[in-house]
Amino acid sequence: MIIRNRPPLSYSDVTPRNEYLNRRRFLAGSAAVLVSGAAALRAAKLNVASKSPFSTSEPLTPFKDVSTYNNFYEFGTAKDQPSQLAKNFKTSPWHIKVEGQVNKPGVFDMDAILKIAPLEERIYRHRCVEAWSIVVPWIGFSLSELLKQVEPKSTAKYVAFESYYDPKQMPAGAWAGISFPYVEGLRLDEAMNPLALLCTGMYGETLPNQNGAPVRLVIPWKYGFKSIKSIAKIKLVEKQPPTTWNLSSSREYGFYSNVNPQVDHPRWSQAKERRLGEFLKRQTILFNGYGQQVAGMYNGMDLRKNY
Ligand code: MTE
């Protein structure tokens, strides 16, 4: 593919690939070639400045598993649906609006986002509330770098996130059983914790659409549903914001949703997890093993009540 052979990107490099594909569609004039053109659509390489010391040395889950076993309900509820149904999701141009209790609200396009801080590779464990887990070499930088740029006011206590939603591009969402746009939230200190990653890539390349292109969160000490995909809006607010899974079932999904093997989901145990590709289950670790970096934020809090 032309993009893969070019030097590492400026984000707008992704656009010529779409133009290229559109041109191919136009020239080909046949459905068969159109499909092969779309199948050839592949991510662009990302220029990673450093490998983060936060990384685990555990073996990586293969790219194929991470990119075909997905939760992205806007594109269907079966694990293999997003990789199929998000193929033509339009992620360029892209903007994130940052607003609310900040001195410098603004709209960031992808080029601006990629200039906020040098990109790091961070190999994190990712634990889904459904009790499966993966190890992924994400690419991005601390969310705090973006938040510092907009200068939170002292009244900002929480950060609310909203995914992009377009029923025309995401028709399968109508049957997902949750409401869209998908929304998530963090306390401001959680959002400022260096582990909270604003993520633009994985495995050395831009994010595949099904993994939340072009920009998502990765919050490794919390259940995977806190890691909101395809972010369109960030708002700093005074009060705890609503979150999609909590709105859907507050008894089952709390606002905090820190990985905790001692607090079971009402319908299943959270004591163990299945790492994709492994046969035997392994023990789940409190805060997904990131306690050293994050436990202090919850001192004095009852983690059973604040699940
Ligand atoms: N973000 C949006 N917008 N929609 C979703 O359905 N699913 C969440 C989270 N972010 C979801 C989302 C869940 S449940 C998980 S486990 C992770 O994305 C899955 O990320 P992955 O597919 O890259 O492994």
Q: What is the CATH number of domain 46-125+138-245?
A: 3.90.420.10
The conformation of residue 104, written as its DSSP 8-state character, comes to: S
The stretches of the chain forming alpha helices (DSSP H) are 14-28, 31-39, 63-66, 81-85, 110-114, 143-150, 188-192, 244-248, 291-294
Q: Write down the pTM of the prediction.
A: 0.89
User: What proportion of the chain, given as a percentage, has pLDDT over 90?
Assistant: 85
What per-residue confidence (pLDDT) applies to 175? Answer: 96
Distance CA 294, CA 300 (A): 13
74 confidence band (pLDDT: 50, 70, 90): very high
For CA atoms 120, 137, 284, 76, the dihedral sign is positive
Which of 214, 220, 209, 213 has the alpha carbon at shortest distance from 186? 220
Higher-scoring residue by pLDDT: 189, 49: 189
Rounded to the nearest integer, the mean pLDDT of the chain is 89
**Among protein residues, the one whose CA lies closest to atom 9 of ligand 1:** 225
Nearest atom (ligand 1) to Cα of 128: 16
Distance CA 191, CA 185 (A): 9
The tens digit of pLDDT for each residue in 110-129 reads 999 999 999 999 999 999 99
The conformation of residue 18, written as its DSSP 8-state character, comes to: H
What per-residue confidence (pLDDT) applies to 43? Answer: 81
Tell me which range, 7-21, 35-49, 186-200, is most confidently predicted by mean pLDDT.
186-200
User: What proportion of the chain, given as a percentage, has pLDDT over 70?
Assistant: 86
Distance from Cα 294 to the centre of ligand 1, integer Å: 22
Report whether pLDDT(34) > 90: no
The tens digit of pLDDT for each residue in 219-264 reads 999 999 999 999 999 999 999 999 999 999 999 999 999 999 999 9
| CB of residue 71 inside a 6 A radius of ligand 1 | yes
What per-residue confidence (pLDDT) applies to 78? Answer: 98
What per-residue confidence (pLDDT) applies to 12? Answer: 47
Report whether pLDDT(71) > 70: yes
Q: Would you kindly state where each structural domain of the chain is located, as residue ranges?
A: 9-44, 46-125+138-245
CA 213, distance to chain mean position in Å, is 8
Which amino acid appears at position 53 of this protein?
A: P
Average pLDDT for 36-54: 74
Nearest atom (ligand 1) to Cα of 180: 3
Distance from Cα 272 to the centre of ligand 1, integer Å: 20
What per-residue confidence (pLDDT) applies to 35? Answer: 33
Distance from Cα 224 to the centre of ligand 1, integer Å: 6
What per-residue confidence (pLDDT) applies to 15? Answer: 38
Distance from Cα 201 to the centre of ligand 1, integer Å: 15
